[in-house]
Amino acid sequence: MFLIGDVAPADKRLCMVAQEALYLGMKQVKPGATVGDIGTAIEKYIKENNKKNPRNKFSIVKDFCGHGIGNEFHEEPQVVHYKNFDRRVLKEGMCFTIEPMINAGKFGCSIDGEDNWTVYTGDGKNSAQWEHTIVVTKDGCEVLTLRSDDTIPRLMVN
């Protein structure tokens, strides 16, 4: 993780928690697991973190999600990062992103009306996002977008 400038401890924590949320979501991926298992694990982690840090609670953005990758850039399945009951079963060869956005405040956000791209948190607090593209393997997943500073293996056995 590379942070620029004099980053406040609370913002460092936000970045680390968001990264760990991604990793925990990825640890759910294997044939036979469900799409819903990913978001459920992420939300559980965020809630546990909030119990340990009640003065600096985080939330999960619900307006954006991970997605399938295939013939089109954004395909099914949509992979939400909060508890859900999506029972679609993961199968070997499926390719998708997991990309939780974690806010240092409330989960609401809005898109800039001028560029229709920039996203702002509803309460003006900071947000962190991490993303990986993965392929389901016979016993876990392969990380297609692994960075040199990641602390996870390219091939995850889950």
- At residue 2, the pLDDT reads 79
Per CATH, domain 9-157 is 3.40.50.720? no
Predicted local confidence at residue 83, as pLDDT: 97
Domain ranges of the chain: 9-157
Q: How far is CA 154 from CA 105, 115, 146, 147, 157, in A?
A: 32, 35, 6, 9, 10
Whole-structure pTM value: 0.94
Give CA–CA dist 143/150, Å, rounded.
10
Over the stretch 83-129, which tens digit does the pLDDT of each residue have? Answer: 999 999 999 999 999 999 999 999 999 999 999 999 999 999 999 99
Averaged pLDDT, 25-38: 98
